[in-house]
Copies of this chain bind each other. A is one copy, B any other.
Amino acid sequence: MNSFGRLFRVTIFGESHGDSVGVSIDGCPAGLPLSAEDLLPDLERRKGGMQKGTTPRKEDDLPLFKSGLFNGHATGAPMTILFENNNTRSADYEKQRAVPRPGHADFVAHKKFRGFEDYRGGGHFSGRLTVALVAAGAVAKKLLSAAVSAGSEPGGIAVRAAITEIGGEKDTEKGLQKAIEAKDSVGGIVECRVSGLPAGLGEPFFDSVESVLSHAVFSIPAVRAIEFGTGFAAASMFGSDHNDAIVNDEGETRTNHAGGVVGGITNGNELVFRIAIKPTSSTPREQQTLNWESGKIEAFSVKGRHDLCIALRVPVVLEAVTAIVLADLMLLERRIVPAAG
């Protein structure tokens, strides 16, 4: 299903070269002050614009509110936001129909949807749909900040993601430069930190904070791994080193190896997790793949310009899905106070 969330439920739709992509948000509390302008900064960040290593499609990405917004506030009814696709050239894809691009979903989509999939530019699998995620994320961020202004979390909930590594280099410019020189695409690591969360979000077992966050995070294309707190490094540690000593009534801990989650529940410390992004599948280098019509392996070259490092575009998307998850958890724990009428 293309929906996520229990009380703040996000449904996405659209294809890369179809009429439009969009999102429907069900459960946004009535009274949240909101306008298209609130979405623009994150939509702009997603485009990557001037960023080295990104080659954005020239889309306006103007959010069109089709429902759920009235007089500058959420109405409480489903909020549908549409983005038109203006900048699409599909002819190339028609020609390449029988040649699944390595690393892309072309082959699996063909198997799963038996040839009826919209194959142009990845269709529904396209990274183009992250514009819908970012829009919903901006609404969720607004909601988290409304929770704050309503006094429930004095310090404020802040969701911040950033690239920490490209191509194995912590100096990300260096990692990117390596890829440019190699005329190849490259992967990276993105870290997300959330401050201001109350203790008590999440559930034991199936709806642990890690469960719902990772569920949402793996909906971002190209994510291959996620780790919380010390993550994989924890596997090499002794317990006396890994355990975080609680030092006060608020649950503050001396260290934060847990990354803010214990037993699947937030413990009031900073939430910290990292994700691995694979190299952009569309690399400038020639590759080999099957032509399913001829049944032969053939050389394959990506046409047009593509991001060398898709990880550069991910932070704002990661913030978005994180905010969506947290808005849902905050509503479930009744930590978001609806604004006065």
Q: Which residues of A contact B (CB under 8 A)?
A: 1-4, 6-7, 9, 11-15, 18-22, 24, 26-27, 30-31, 64-68, 70-71, 73-80, 82, 100, 102-105, 107-109, 111-118, 122-125, 129, 165, 167-168, 179, 182, 184-189, 199-200, 203-208, 210-212, 214-216, 218-219, 221, 223-249, 251, 257-259, 262-268, 276-283, 285, 287-290, 292, 295, 297, 311, 332, 334, 338, 340-341
Most buried by B among A109, A235, A236: A235
Pairs A–B under 8 Å by Cβ, sample size 18: A1-B207, A13-B80, A31-B116, A70-B116, A77-B113, A77-B124, A102-B245, A107-B246, A107-B251, A108-B200, A111-B268, A168-B236, A210-B223, A214-B226, A227-B227, A235-B278, A241-B279, A242-B279
Q: Is the CB of A179 within 8 A of B238?
A: yes
* Copies of this protein in the complex: 4
Q: Chain B residues with Cβ under 8 A from A185's Cβ?
A: 238-240
Distance between Cα atoms of A226 and B276 in the complex (Å): 10
Q: Is the CB of A66 within 8 A of B22?
A: yes
Q: Is the CB of A224 within 8 A of B224?
A: no
Distance between Cα atoms of A22 and B283 in the complex (Å): 39
In the assembled complex, the CB of A256 is this many whole angstroms from the nearest CB of chain B, namely 12
Q: Chain B residues with Cβ under 8 A from A206's Cβ?
A: 1-4, 12, 215-216, 219
- Across the interface, name the chain B residue whose C-beta is closest to A182: B238
Our pick among B3, B211, B229, B262 for the contact of A9 (Cβ within 8 Å) is: B3
